Amino acid sequence: MADINAVATQFTDFYYTSFDRDRSSLEPLYRPESMLTFEGTQLLGTANILEKLKSLPFQNVQHKVTTLDAQPSTNPGAIIVSVTGLLLVDGGENPLQFSQVFQLVPSDGTYFVFNDIFRLNYGA
């Protein structure tokens, strides 16, 4: 599964670099049918998703990927990507753990995000 792992790595590198630099640059990754569940809040479509991402109340954020797993999905070419990692917010010393799941769907020689589920993982 080397190929899908390469796609997953390339996608997450791009996604988190873009997120941390300028969240509005994530817009081309979403479509009208894209779904985001962010900390339990459900959003549908590019406009709603971008509005949510841009409204998040931190100025500086850095994602560090700890684990990255990919599997082929049911639809030909689609990929399930599961990420766990650390989120450093506004220079805070205590990174937050997060989990994020994407389903990437191929289209026009690239991929868009069909499913996106984000959760912070609080300690026990």
Binding track over 71-110 against its own copies, x by CB under 8 A: xxxxx--x-x-x-x-x-------xx-x-x-x-x-x-----
Q: Which residues pair with 86 in a beta bridge?
A: 64, 97
* Three-class SS state of 24: helix
Q: Would you count residue 48 as binding its own copies (CB under 8 A)?
A: no
Per CB under 8 A, does 69 bind its own copies?
yes
In the complex, minimum distance from the CB of residue 4 to its own copies, in angstroms, rounded to a whole number: 11
**Residues in contact with its own copies, total (CB under 8 A)?**
33
φ, ψ (nearest 5 deg) of residue 16: -75, -35
| Both tokens assigned to 6 | 């390469």
Look up residue 4 and give its two tokens: 């899908």
DSSP strand pairing (110-121 vs 41-44): unpaired
Closest CA relative to residue 83, chosen from 96, 98, 94, 105: 98
Window 10 to 39, contacts with its own copies (CB under 8 A):
35, 37
What are the CA-CA distances from residue 116 to residues 2, 16, 87, 91 (Å)? 22, 13, 17, 26
Q: Which of 42, 61, 63, 112 binds its own copies (CB under 8 A)?
A: 42
Query: Footprint of its own copies on this chain (CB under 8 A)?
Result: 1, 35, 37, 40, 42, 66-67, 69, 71-75, 78, 80, 82, 84, 86, 94-95, 97, 99, 101, 103, 105, 114-115, 117, 119, 121-124
